[in-house]
Amino acid sequence: MEGPVESGKRTHLMCGTAAWSVAGFAVCVYFAYSSYADVRDSDFYWQGGWWTALTWAVWLVLAAGLLSETRCWRERTFFGLLAAIFLIGLVLSVWTSAQPAAARYAREASLALWCLAALASLTTLAHPKTLPG
């Protein structure tokens, strides 16, 4: 029977688990392509409405919760990027009177962040190094 986790041990939610790393990469690539298609087609409109804002808020809380549960810099980077993307989505879904330039910048920023999150997900493929002792 295992005892409680020692305070010095680090929690790894994704590191070394290929399925989660690849799944995170695939999802991020999908949303990066979706954002790219929106930018390419000059579709900067963000879906509004309370249901959409609530969905973004739930994803933001989930990412922030996962961010707070890990101590690994690779996972923190990944979940931090996701939290930033979800924050952009939440703000732009609530801010229905956003100027087209601001909406375009936000769409381009989300594209860049999705690409970075995909790369960050790949960094979690490696097993964390274990320290002796």
Average of per-residue pLDDT across 45-53: 84
Question: Radius of gyration (Cα) for the chain, nearest Å?
Answer: 17
71 in any annotated domain: yes
Q: Does residue 6 register a pLDDT over 50?
A: no
Domain that holds residue 59: 18-123
* pTM for this model (two decimals): 0.83
Q: Write the pLDDT tens digit of every residue in 96-111.
A: 888 889 989 999 999 9
81 in any annotated domain: yes
Q: Give rounded-to-5 percent helix, strand, coil for the chain.
A: 65, 0, 35
Q: Residue type for 64, please?
A: A
**Number of domains comprising the chain:** 1
116 in any annotated domain: yes
